[in-house]
Structure 1
Amino acid sequence: MRILLTTGITIGVILSILIGCQHEVDIKTAQYAVNGQKVYRTHCQNCHGEKGEGLGNLYPPLTDTTFLQTHRQDLACIIKNGTSGELEVAGKKFNNTMPASNLSAIDIAYVLTYINTKINKGKNLYPLEEVEKNLKNCK
């Protein structure tokens, strides 16, 4: 009985330590994603859809992870400054205008993290520092 009790307490302590030691980046990613969902619903969802599916031939989906990875350094600029002209996403061509936004760098980091982690089931954080650096390099 004593061995069983000791083993149970030991397992409980180990589980508590493992759960309590969640990596700081994972916590930050979760926080960014929650805030990003609010930004997305307010500023992006009308055109790109609730699940990032896009709107027919008008607005591209946000579910093309290849596009998002290939253009990672451009995404903050696209969100901040908008875009126009032809764009190919998920094998489809879109030729519509995305207006510039008044989002702050932190809001852009939030929404990009939300798109990556919740819409596309990825794990990558878009840190504020990366967004700020990319915004300085906008063309």
Structure 2
Amino acid sequence: MKFFISSYLIIVSCLAYFLFQDKELQESIQRGKDIYSDFCVTCHLETGEGVAYTYPPLADSDYLMNNREASIQGVKYGRMGELTVNGVTYNNTMMPLGLEDDEIADVMNYVLNSWGNSGAKMVTVQEVNSIVK
């Protein structure tokens, strides 16, 4: 009986945690969509496809999925030089956008959960804050 009650409490706790996190993630994604529309859409376009050989795609991006920390760092501090996305090499400069850490987390959550991307876990303000140049 103790095992059943303990198991039940663990399952209910885990379910409550994931439901809360899902709501929090959905709210972050919505805020991130607005930030994307204000800061990112000019180069990466509305559907995240980017501009061939100039601005890399964010849609179905192997780079984003495999380089989480570098992706956050690029949004936070800007980036320059070569990077390869979906087998295509890009060599351009992305200037820092001047976003706060909470805005970076929100826009990353939007991008990592849009256009065929599927973020493994939610980007948090603490994670963005821990990324240094």
Question: Shared fold by TM > 0.5?
Answer: yes
Q: Is 1:67 matched up with 2:63?
A: yes
Structure 1 residues 90, 121: CA separation in 2 closer, same or farther (over 3 Å shift)?
A: closer
The one-letter code of the counterpart of 1:37 is K
Structure 1 residues 74, 90: CA separation in 2 closer, same or farther (over 3 Å shift)?
A: same
The one-character-per-residue Cα deviations of 1:10-61 (angstroms, maximum 9, x if unpaired) are: xxxxxxxxxxx67110001000000000000110011001111011211000
Q: Is the 8 A contact 1:33 1:118 kept in 2?
A: no
Counterparts of residues 1-139 of structure 1 (less than 5 Å): 23-123=19-119, 124-134=121-131, 137-138=132-133
Matched residues, number: 116
TM, length-normalised to structure 1: 0.77
**Structure 1 spans left out of the alignment, 5+ residues:** 1-20
The one-character-per-residue Cα deviations of 1:76-115 (angstroms, maximum 9, x if unpaired) are: 2101211111111110011111111100000000000000
CA distance in 2 between counterparts of 1:120 and 1:39 reads: 19
The one-letter code of the counterpart of 2:127 is E
What SS does the aligned partner of 2:70 have? helix
CA distance in 1 between counterparts of 2:117 and 2:43 reads: 20
Greater share of strand: 2
TM, length-normalised to structure 2: 0.80
CA distance in 2 between counterparts of 1:100 and 1:78 reads: 8
Task: Tell me which structure has the larger Cα radius of gyration.
Answer: 1
* Structure 1 runs (4+) greater than 6 angstroms displaced: none
Q: Is the 8 A contact 1:88 1:94 kept in 2?
A: yes
RMSD value, Cα: 1.6
**Structure 2 spans left out of the alignment, 5+ residues:** 1-15
What SS does the aligned partner of 1:93 have? strand
What SS does the aligned partner of 1:88 have? strand
What SS does the aligned partner of 1:84 have? strand
